């Protein structure tokens, strides 16, 4: 009888192990239905939005923060504008436009969400230093001149002290500098090595990073793409956290398989933890007649991208995902100067809500995973 019971027990163990293996091969076997994300346990990454508003009104700004508070557990303050170089270099009073902006962001800080702050060292074309408030940039022999280093450190220090973030991106889309102004790249790396060390010493608990664009890492528009990819991968892997900026429609990626191949490339090249610092995808057609650009987009394709993104974030334990922005900003775009309207149009129709505030299918996907 003892041998019979022992044999029966062994058979039961083998059957249980067999069922376990089958479920790994088919994770939906554990799902009561085939609802998206049901094969996973609890969500292991944070989800949020930038604070980019949808209209040029105080109400829009307040509504954006309210929306984030209800639909995110992290959010991003994106500071990609002017740097008061002259004030930092010459110990002058800071421009009120700068201090008021930072104070406004600080006053709206969400108490129950983590904060990631992205600061741009570079101009919008990612080819040189960001402009001062008078449109100038400081004279320099190389980007790692001590005067530039000290001024930029003060800039980051001030922002970090005022906003007290959990994450600080020291520079935005830095691989674009190698593409657009390769002669500045070596000096940039020296500059950021010094900045990184100083910020870590000043704020030891702060997680720091720099962002790179996946679209021009995965498919760089350069002559020697292999060398470019190797250089960016090597540089990114010196970071404790690699932050990704990704707009897949920039490279014509439209299907789940194409999205996954881009993410597979990242996981092959990057050995460090990953965060998605900014991303989105078209929910409507994009047409810019001035440059003869047309990219088809629709809500279904946007939702496919979001599902691919969130799946990869779960499987590969991303730190967080930031969607830019939560709602189409047609009203804000109407106020743009004519010379930048074409640029603004690129991201205008990428919200999880449309310009009227109507929820798209991607919003339902977002809420499903957020509550998982």
* pLDDT, tens only, 100-120: 999 999 999 999 999 999 999
> What DSSP string runs through 254-308?
-SHHHHHHHHHHHHHH--S-EEEEEE---SS-EEEGGGTEEE---HHHHHHHHHH
- What pLDDT, on a 0 to 100 scale, did the predictor assign at position 233? 98
* 274 beta partners: 242
Q: Which tokens belong to 115?
A: 């904060």
The whole-angstrom separation of Cα 113 and Cα 289 is 40
- Of 113, 211, 117, nearest to 162 by C-alpha is 117
Identify which has the larger pLDDT, 330 or 13: 330
Q: Which tokens belong to 91?
A: 């110990």
Q: Hey, where are the domains in the chain?
A: 46-370
CATH number of 46-370: 3.20.20.80
Of the given ranges (9-13, 316-320, 324-328), which has the lowest mean pLDDT?
9-13
- What pLDDT, on a 0 to 100 scale, did the predictor assign at position 33? 61
Instruction: Calculate the average pLDDT of the chain.
Output: 92
Q: Could you report the per-residue pLDDT of 218-259, keeping only the tens digit for each?
A: 999 999 999 999 999 999 999 999 999 999 999 999 999 999
> Dihedral of the CA atoms 160, 161, 167, 169 (nearest 10)?
10
The whole-angstrom separation of Cα 185 and Cα 180 is 10
CA distances from 101 to 97, 106, 108 (A): 6, 9, 11
The whole-angstrom separation of Cα 348 and Cα 301 is 16
Peptide bond into 325 cis (omega under 30): yes
Q: Could you report the per-residue pLDDT of 63-97, keeping only the tens digit for each?
A: 999 999 999 999 999 999 999 999 999 999 999 99
CA distances from 174 to 30, 47, 125, 192, 244 (A): 42, 23, 11, 10, 10
CA of residue 3 relative to chain centroid, distance: 61
Burial class (CB in 10 A: 0-12, 13-18, 19+), 349: buried
- What pLDDT, on a 0 to 100 scale, did the predictor assign at position 128? 98
Q: Could you report the per-residue pLDDT of 285-311, keeping only the tens digit for each?
A: 999 988 889 999 999 999 999 999 999
What pTM did the predictor assign?
0.91
- The whole-number average pLDDT for the span 358-368 is 98
- Of 79, 96, 313, 58, nearest to 211 by C-alpha is 79
Q: Which tokens belong to 234?
A: 């090597």
Residues 6+ apart with CB under 8 A from 246: 213, 214, 215, 262, 276, 278, 279
Residues 6+ apart with CB under 8 A from 150: 88, 89
């Amino acid at each position: 009888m003892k041998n019979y019971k022992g044999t029966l027990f062994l058979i039961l163990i083998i059957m249980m192990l067999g069922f376990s293996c089958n479920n790994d091969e088919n994770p939906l076997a554990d799902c009561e239905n085939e609802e998206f994300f049901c094969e996973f346990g609890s969500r292991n990454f944070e989800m949020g939005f930038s604070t980019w508003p949808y209209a040029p009104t105080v109400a829009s700004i307040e509504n954006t923060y309210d929306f984030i508070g209800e639909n995110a557990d992290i959010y991003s303050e994106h500071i990609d504008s002017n740097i008061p170089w002259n004030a930092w270099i010459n110990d002058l009073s800071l421009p009120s436009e700068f201090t008021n902006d930072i104070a406004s962001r600080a006053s709206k800080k969400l108490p129950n969400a983590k904060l990631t702050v992205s600061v741009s060292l570079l101009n919008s074309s990612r080819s040189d230093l960001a402009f001062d408030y008078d449109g100038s940039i400081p004279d320099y022999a190389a980007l790692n001149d001590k005067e530039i280093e000290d001024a930029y450190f003060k800039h980051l220090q001030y922002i970090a002290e005022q906003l007290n973030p959990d994450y600080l991106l020291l520079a935005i889309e830095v691989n674009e500098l190698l593409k657009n102004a390769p002669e500045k790249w070596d000096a940039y790396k020296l500059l950021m090595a010094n900045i990184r060390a100083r910020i870590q010493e000043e704020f030891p608990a702060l997680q720091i990073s720099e962002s790179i664009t996946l679209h021009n890492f995965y498919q760089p528009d350069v002559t020697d793409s292999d060398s470019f990819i190797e250089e960016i991968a090597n540089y990114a892997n010196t970071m404790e956290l690699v932050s990704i900026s990704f707009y897949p429609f920039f490279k014509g990626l439209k299907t789940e398989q194409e999205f996954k191949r881009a993410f597979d490339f990242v996981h092959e090249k990057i050995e460090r933890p990953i965060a998605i610092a900014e991303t989105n995808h078209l929910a409507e057609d994009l047409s810019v007649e001035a440059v003869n650009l047309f990219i088809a987009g629709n809500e279904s394709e946007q939702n496919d991208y979001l599902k691919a993104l969130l799946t990869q974030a779960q499987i590969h334990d991303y730190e967080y995902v930031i969607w830019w922005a939560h709602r189409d900003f047609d009203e804000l775009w109407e106020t743009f100067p004519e010379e930048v309207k074409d640029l603004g149009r690129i991201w205008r129709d990428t919200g999880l809500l449309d310009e009227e505030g109507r929820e798209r299918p991607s919003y339902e996907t977002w809420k499903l995973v957020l509550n998982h």
